[in-house]
Amino acid sequence: MKREIKFSLVFRDMWQSAGKYVPRVDQLTRVAPAIIEMGCFARVETNGGGFEQVNLLFGENPNIAVREWTKPFHDAGIQTHMLDRALNGLRMSPVPDDVRQLFYQVKNAQGTNIARTFCGLNDVRNIAPSIKYAKAAGMISQCCLSITHSPIHTVEYYTNMAYELIELGADEICLKDMAGVGRPWSLGQIVKNIKAKYPDIPIQYHSHAGPGFSVASILEVCDAGCDYIDVGMEPLSWGTGHADLLTVQAMLKDAGYIVPEINMEAYMRVRTLVQEFMDDFLGLYISPRNRLMNSLLIGPGLPGGMMGSLMADLEKNLESINKNNIKNNKPLMTQDQLLIKLFDEVAYVWPRVGYPPLVTPFSQYVKNLALMNVMQMEKGKARWSMIADDIWDMILGKAGRLPGPLAPEIIEKAKAEGREFFTGNPQDNYPDSLDKYRKLMNEKQWEVGEDDEELFEYAMHPAQYEAYRSGKAKVEFTADVAKRKAEKNVIAQPVAQVIANDAKEALLPKTPQTMTVDVDGQAYRVTVSFGDTAAAPAGAAKPETAAAPAPAAAPAAPAAGAGQEVLSPLEGKFFLVKGTSDTPVKVGDVVKEGDVLCYVEAMKTYNAVRAEFGGTVTSICFHPGDAVSEDDVLMTIQ
């Protein structure tokens, strides 16, 4: 008889790999008892990564969610673990050191046992403080090898990285095969090497199913000495998700391993509840294609967690490209054509920006850079003509050391724009900020919360937290759900002989429609547009209360002023600054060509909009956090 293998249900990542959102806290606490009754999980992934930003986006307090969601597992003796991004904490951009320290104190107090820390560049300098802070807070420090496949990322590379992390104090090692592109034999060799030198260090394997290697890889790492296997379950397994619990358990049992039995009655209850949550609203943000395995993913190596939201994002990008194609009498592009162009461009971009492991946030950076290249080239512009500030930080070394060298064309572009490369400790670029946020909360008369958890949330996610506190996030989310349900209901109506691709355009209203949504007993009138929003009036998507005005309702956008128009380069959310320490441009300011005017946040990165001409700002046409479409007038300059 072989040794015991334990299972971890990656419940958070199941959802993040499928679509945009995770269940609400009331849904999470309903499903927790059934997960426990399944009787087969030693661990459950309860939060981390994008989880808490998602709570904020639909107007829910993430601290309450984490406390209530982890408690039943804690009471049942099941360990909970969360994913954190080292230098980036729980967000896409780097985090000050004092916020990182508070992070682990808060999560331990809220009931999370294990901090699964990874650096998207595999830069051990970024992970080292997390080991210290997690252990000081009383958490288990599990450190990741972000697995990818390239000439640089060899068995020796990952073996040496694991040794270094263990010597720095890591309690456990996780092979984070986020794209599922790790080759089974190589993964087995990495585990074998770690166990040969450190036999008592627990090893956990995490893999996505998309490219098709995962089941073979699971068997290989178990034969090499792995202790824990991450699994998903129906209806969110396979595809961009993870290998299914039932398959993995049957395979390992046949191979002679001791594996836990599964209470199938409880399994079916969890499966039913997950489907219920999808039918409620979560399925509105899940592409049916994310259920499919796709060996084309072997080439670009894009991670499953990112692919979940990518397919939804591509709809907007495709619409943008096809608007331009219509204007220029060019044939329309299909989503499959765009996807292939994107995969090809990722393969071109990735080695030229130094082979960063394709995991958050650098998978998004590489994908976004490739996608912007595709979009710009489709519109007759040059490759590399739009690079977001966060991507520049990666290229310049401000986020950590790139595994490989940069291509000469990238180095030349950086020099031509006067950008300087950084070789020091990345954390030094981001000064402490807790005192600043504590002062802001005091001014706003906001409580810092139990164990300073509200202070932590504000410092970690400033823009999203303010939108949550104002109520704007919940109103906008509720409106978006209402719009998507309306679209779904219209398309579901039987239409004879209408081609599927034309059905939505044929049936949806041609003008903005007003609907009333209920948010915690307060009625709001929300105007939403369907299809091409280019003709929608300025501020048409802004919510307002049906009765008296409420703080959550966004004011109407100011009218455009005199002068030349500054257009949005893409669809997203408008912001004047990236952080509270930045000084926003205001009406009356004199700007010169090349100055940063504002940002459009899209695909999880802030894209700087720079002045193409100098002059005086005569109007700012949107409020921070407002949704904007491509070619919307953001400002005017005279």
The pLDDT of residue 359 is 82
Domains of the chain, CATH where assigned: 298-429 (no CATH), 472-550 (no CATH), 564-637 (2.40.50.100)
232-237 long-range Cβ contacts below 8 angstroms, 24+ apart: 232/9, 232/10, 232/13, 232/14, 232/17, 233/9, 233/14, 233/267, 233/270, 233/271, 233/274, 234/271, 234/274, 235/271, 235/274, 235/275, 235/278, 236/14, 236/15, 236/17, 236/18, 236/274, 237/14, 237/209
Sorting pLDDT into bands at 50, 70 and 90, what band is 206?
very high
**Residue predicted with more confidence, 490 or 3:** 3
Task: Give the pLDDT score at 116.
Answer: 97
Least confident of 113-122, 256-265, 481-490: 481-490
User: Which of these, 173, 395, 213, lies nearest to 304 by C-alpha position?
Assistant: 213
Q: Is the pLDDT assigned to residue 102 strictly greater than 70?
A: yes
In tens, the pLDDT along 336-351 reads: 888 888 888 888 999 9
Q: Residue 21 pLDDT more than 80?
A: yes
pLDDT tier, 547 (very low <50, low <70, confident <90, very high otherwise): very low
pLDDT for 581: 67
Residue 612 has pLDDT above 90, yes or no: no
- Min mean pLDDT across 23-32, 218-227, 408-417, 576-585 is at 576-585
**What is the structure's pLDDT at 545?**
41
Nearest by Cα to 322 from 531, 518, 119? 531
Does 5 score more than 60 pLDDT? Answer: yes
Considering only residues 334 and 256, tell me which one the structure prediction assigns the higher pLDDT: 256
Average the pLDDT over each of 16-20, 397-401, 501-505 and give the range with the smallest value: 501-505
Nearest to 17 by CA among 59, 56, 45: 45
Interval 268-326: pLDDT, tens: 999 999 999 999 999 998 888 778 777 777 777 766 656 655 666 677 777 778 887 88
Question: Which of the two residues, 371 and 124, has the higher pLDDT score?
Answer: 124
Which residues on neighbouring strands pair with residue 599, listed in sequence order? 575, 608
Query: Given this model, what pLDDT does residue 321 score?
Result: 80
**pLDDT tens per residue across span 472-513:** 889 988 998 998 898 887 765 554 444 444 444 444 444 555
Q: CA of 6: how far to CAs of 42, 160, 204, 245, in Å?
A: 6, 26, 9, 11
**Cα distance between residue 277 and residue 575, in whole Å:** 32
Report the range of poorest mean pLDDT among 27-41, 103-117, 310-324, 357-371. 310-324
Check pLDDT > 50 for residue 263.
Answer: yes
Q: Tell me the chain's radius of gyration from C-alpha atoms.
A: 24
Range with the poorest average pLDDT among 30-39, 242-251, 563-572: 563-572
Phi and psi, residue 504, nearest 5°: -60, -45
Q: What tens digit of pLDDT does each residue of 187-196 get?
A: 999 999 999 9
The residue length of the chain stands at 638
Strand ranges (E), 194-352: 203-207, 228-231
Lowest mean pLDDT among 53-62, 381-390, 552-561, 575-584: 552-561
Percent of the chain predicted with pLDDT > 70: 86
Average pLDDT over residues 213-240: 96
Note the Cα 517 to chain centre separation in Å: 27
pLDDT digits (tens, 9 = 90+) for 58-101: 889 999 999 999 999 999 999 999 999 999 999 888 999 999 99
**Range name among 218-222, 360-364, 398-402 with the lowest pLDDT average:** 360-364
The pLDDT of residue 544 is: 43
Which of the residue ranges 238-252, 358-372, 400-414, 455-469 would you say has the lowest mean pLDDT?
358-372
Among the residue ranges 12-21, 172-181, 187-196, 402-411, the one predicted with the least confidence is: 12-21
Place of tokens 């059934």: 34
Among 75-79, 103-107, 338-342, 521-525, whose mean pLDDT is lowest? 521-525
The string of pLDDT tens digits covering residues 442-454 is 999 999 999 999 9
- pTM exceeds 0.75, yes or no: yes
pLDDT of residue 312: 61
Mean pLDDT computed over 622-638: 89
Q: What is the reported pLDDT for 550?
A: 44
Identify the residue with better confidence: 490 or 626: 626
Q: In the predicted model, what is the mean pLDDT of the chain?
A: 86
Q: How much of the chain is in helix, strand and coil states, percent to nearest 5? A: 45, 15, 40
